[in-house]
Amino acid sequence: MRLRLVPEQTNIDFFRFARVTLGASVVAVILSIAAWLLIGLNFGIDFRGGTTIRTEASQPVDVAAYRAAVEAQNLGQVSISEVFDPSFRDDQYVAMIRIEAQEGQESATGEVIQAVEAALLAVEPSIKFTSVESVGPKVSGELIQTAILAVLAAMGAILVYIWLRFEWQFAVGAIAALIHDVILTIGIFSILQIRFDLATIAALLTIVGYSINDTVVIFDRLRENLRKYKTTPLQEVMNLTTNETLSRTLMTSGTTLLALIALLILGGDVIRGFIFAITWGIIVGTYSSVYVAKNVVLMLGVKRDWSKPTDGGAGTRFGNIDA
């Protein structure tokens, strides 16, 4: 007996509220950009430059006392937060201390780290430093530029692939869905002020790859159906295609989410930002594959008779190449 998340045959009208879903996506993208510009991102040490110290103690973290002890060292802006995790022991209390990059220095000196440790030991004798990470301002600026280029290069390569594999309308729809996914992920990080670091960039690239995989599966079935139903209205063919691939879409996303949710709960705070980004990205990526990419293709229109080659049209020369 096979497990089915959806009936073997469905007849859901995914375009019944096309204007509402596409409008909601546009509004969500605008709000995400506004949050990014107005609130900003909580850049991690990779992008902001400075020193991050992870501490562990057997007594509860007194954030006010920790801050007073560190600020007395005159190290500039200091951020202190307590870390919570279900996997911690009952006597394990963890804090994260971030100190801004010092002028003229690529990283905090050993003397500075020792001074901070001595100050915190006076507050909590059981405290110990479990990790110390430092990134200079120059390096952090280069990392931001490289991260942006990495995401843009990945999306550009996907644009070319979809254009050659299908048609330019499909490429525009796929890229619109990817931009939607990336911007909404950055927006939720801005709104919730989750730490944004290199691990998050890796998550964004993972989201781009996962989302385009789902979109290509739907587009490939759509092209087959366009050959088969040459006189059927495009919207009906798209609905049929989405219903035919719905089981695969939900099964793939559902099983992936099961593993991600387990990691999100039990994986620890170190990878929580990375796992949250991928979890959120898969949810919005599945949505965009169904409601964003196809809506864009429907508005632009596509070639209906795939049995006839086009006259040198870009995007159709490699249309018969198997993925």
User: Which CATH number do you get for residue 54?
Assistant: 3.30.70.3220
To the nearest whole number, what is the mean pLDDT of the chain? 80
Domain harbouring 175, CATH code? 1.20.1640.10
Phi, psi of 187 (to 5 degrees): -60, -45
Q: What pLDDT, on a 0 to 100 scale, did the predictor assign at position 34?
A: 94
pLDDT band at 137 (very low <50, low <70, confident <90, very high): low
pLDDT digits over 248-269, tens only?
888 888 888 888 888 888 876 6
pLDDT digits over 59-81, tens only?
888 888 888 888 887 776 677 88
Q: Which domain holds residue 191?
A: 18-42+140-300
Whether the CB-CB separation of 92 and 58 falls below 8 Å is answered with: yes
Q: What pLDDT, on a 0 to 100 scale, did the predictor assign at position 183?
A: 92
Helices (H) and strands (E) in the chain, counts: 10, 6
Q: Give me the mean pLDDT over the 131-148 stretch.
A: 73
Whether 111 and 152 share a structural domain: no
Q: Which residue has the higher pLDDT, 271 or 121?
A: 121
Whether 210 and 77 share a structural domain: no
Nearest Cα residue to 201 out of 147, 157, 149, 153: 147
Q: What pLDDT, on a 0 to 100 scale, did the predictor assign at position 312?
A: 47
DSSP 33-49: HHHHHHT--EE-HHHH-
pLDDT band at 313 (very low <50, low <70, confident <90, very high): very low
Q: What is the pTM of this model?
A: 0.72
Q: Provide, rounded to the nearest whole percent, the portion of the chain with pLDDT above 70.
A: 84
Whether 284 and 181 share a structural domain: yes
- Comparing 39-48, 110-119, 258-267, 280-289, which segment has the lowest mean pLDDT? 39-48
